[in-house]
C-alpha cells in the first residue's frame, strides 16, 4: 500500500457528521441505493458519524439544517454525477467526495470528454455525435461510412451501460437511434474496438493521484446494466494478467485522462485493449463509481491491500470544495 493511501492516518471523529448521498432521480437510482448502503455500513464500521440521505426524498437544504459537515456522493448518473449536486454543495459550503462541478459536468458528457482527450493526445475510439433531428437516412449512411460496422450507439449522458447498443448493420443503427432517442437528445456513435475490456480506478488529486491495478472484465455476452449489477455471469480478474509494462502504460494513460478533465478525489476509467495490436482505447470516465458487491473500484483496491471500509474512509477524507466561500474562509 502506498504511503499516500494510508487510512490509519485518518481520525474518523475529525470528519464530522457525514451524509451519504444516495438514491436520487436518475435511471441508476437502484444501483445508487446499493452503493450508498454499502458505503454507509462501511463508514459506520470505522466509527464515522454517517447517515443515509436520499436526495429524492429530502431537499439538499436539509443538509445544512441538520448540521452535516461533509458528503459522500454515491449518486450515479444525472442529477448526481453531472455537476448539479456538486454545484449545490458548493453553494451550501459542504465539502463532498469526487470531482468538482466542471469536471463532473464534462465527464458526464461522453462526447465532450472524448473531445478533450483527443486534444490531449489520449487515444479514444473514433466517433460521430448525432443531435436529435439529424437521424435521417442520409445521416445513418454517413455515420456508417465514417465508422464502419458493427458500431456502438449510446446516449452520451447516461452511465452504467444504460442504453449502450451494438449495431451490427444499417437496420441495427436505425433501431439503436430510435432507442437512444427515448433517453437523450443526442446519440453517440463509436467505432467498435474488438478486444478485451479493462477498468482503471484512480484515487487522489493532481500530482498525488494514483492509478490502482487494472481489472479485466470477461463478459460472456454484453456487459450491460443487468450483467454489471445483478448477475453472476460476468467474470473479473485482478490482477489483470497483462504484462507489467503494458499495465503501467494503461495506468499512465488513465492518469493523464483523469488529470486532463481536472478530476480530484476518485474516478474510474474504462478501457478497451484492441486485440489486433494491443493498443488501449479509453472509452469513458466514471466520476462517482459504483460501490456495490459487484463494483470494480473495491475489487482493485483490495488487490492493493486496501479493504472496502478503508477505501470508503480514504475517499471520504478527500472530500473538498472547488472554492471556499468568503464566510467560510473567515471562520477558518
Whether 190 is catalytic is no
Whether 28 is catalytic is yes
Q: What is the dihedral of CA 240, 158, 206, 302, to 10 degrees?
A: -30
Which is the catalytic residue, given 26, 35, 105, 160?
A: 160
Which is the catalytic residue, given 127, 225, 229, 258?
A: 229
Cβ atoms 266, 97 nearer than 8 A: yes
Rounded Cα distance between 204 and 266, Å, is 6
Which is the catalytic residue, given 270, 295, 300, 310?
A: 270
Task: Output helix, strand, coil percentages for the chain, rounded to the nearest 5.
Answer: 40, 20, 40
Rounded Cα distance between 290 and 261, Å, is 20
Whether 148 is catalytic is no
Question: For 260, what's the count of Cα atoms within 13 Å in the CB-facing half-sphere?
Answer: 23
Which is the catalytic residue, given 23, 28, 36, 265?
A: 28
- Residues whose CB falls within 8 Å of the CB of residue 75, separated by 6 or more in sequence, listed in order: 21, 22, 23, 24, 26, 32, 55, 81, 85, 288
Grid-cell match 509494462, residue found: 245
Which is the catalytic residue, given 29, 70, 264, 268?
A: 268
- Residues whose CB falls within 8 Å of the CB of residue 274, separated by 6 or more in sequence, listed in order: 193, 194, 195, 280, 281
Which residues, in sequence order, are bridge partners of residue 138? Answer: none
Angstrom CA distances, 295 to 37, 51, 122, 203, 236, stand at 13, 22, 25, 15, 10
Whether 11 is catalytic is no
Q: What is the dihedral of CA 145, 150, 155, 161, to 10 degrees?
A: -160
Rounded Cα distance between 133 and 59, Å, is 36
Burial tier of 229 (Cβ tally within 10 Å: 0-12, 13-18, 19+): buried
Which is the catalytic residue, given 29, 265, 290, 300?
A: 290
Rounded Cα distance between 199 and 213, Å, is 9
**Spatial CA neighbour of 96 closest among 143, 60, 56:** 60
Q: Any idea which residues carry the catalytic annotation?
A: 28, 160, 229, 268, 270, 284, 286, 290
Amino acid at each position: 500500500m502506498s504511503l499516500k493511501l494510508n487510512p490509519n492516518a485518518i481520525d474518523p471523529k475529525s470528519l464530522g457528521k457525514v451524509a451519504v448521498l444516495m438514491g436520487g432521480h436518475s435511471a441508476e437510482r437502484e444501483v445508487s441505493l446499493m452503493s450508498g448502503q454499502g458505503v454507509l455500513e462501511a463508514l459506520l464500521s470505522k466509527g464515522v458519524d454517517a447517515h443515509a440521505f436520499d436526495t429524492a426524498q429530502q431537499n439538499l437544504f436539509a443538509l445544512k439544517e441538520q448540521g452535516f459537515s461533509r458528503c459522500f456522493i454515491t449518486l450515479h448518473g444525472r442529477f448526481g454525477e453531472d455537476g448539479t449536486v456538486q454545484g449545490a454543495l458548493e453553494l451550501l459550503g459542504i465539502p463532498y467526495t469526487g470531482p468538482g462541478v466542471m469536471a463532473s459536468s464534462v465527464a458526464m458528457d461522453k462526447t465532450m470528454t472524448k473531445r478533450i482527450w483527443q486534444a490531449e493526445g489520449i487515444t479514444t475510439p473514433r466517433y460521430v455525435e448525432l443531435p436529435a433531428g439529424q437521424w435521417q437516412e442520409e445521416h445513418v449512411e454517413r455515420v456508417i461510412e465514417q465508422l464502419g460496422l458493427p458500431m456502438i450507439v449510446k446516449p452520451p449522458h447516461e452511465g452504467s451501460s444504460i442504453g449502450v447498443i451494438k449495431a451490427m448493420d444499417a437496420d441495427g443503427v436505425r433501431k439503436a437511434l430510435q432507442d437512444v432517442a427515448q433517453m437523450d437528445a443526442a446519440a453517440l456513435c463509436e467505432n467498435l474496438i474488438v478486444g478485451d475490456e479493462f477498468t482503471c480506478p484512480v484515487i487522489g488529486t493532481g500530482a498525488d493521484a494514483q492509478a490502482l491495478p487494472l481489472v479485466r472484465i470477461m463478459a460472456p455476452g454484453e456487459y450491460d446494466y443487468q450483467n454489471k449489477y445483478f448477475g453472476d455471469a460476468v467474470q473479473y480478474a485482478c490482477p489483470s494478467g497483462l504484462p507489467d509494462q503494458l499495465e503501467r502504460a494503461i495506468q499512465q494513460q488513465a492518469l493523464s485522462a483523469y488529470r486532463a478533465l481536472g478530476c480530484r478525489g476518485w474516478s474510474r476509467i474504462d478501457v478497451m485493449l484492441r486485440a489486433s495490436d494491443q493498443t488501449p482505447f479509453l472509452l469513458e470516465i466514471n466520476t462517482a463509481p459504483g460501490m456495490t458487491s459487484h463494483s470494480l473500484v473495491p475489487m482493485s483496491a483490495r488487490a492493493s491491500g486496501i479493504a472496502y471500509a478503508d477505501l470508503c474512509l480514504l475517499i471520504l477524507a478527500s472530500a473538498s470544495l472547488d472554492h471556499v466561500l468568503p464566510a467560510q474562509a473567515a471562520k477558518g
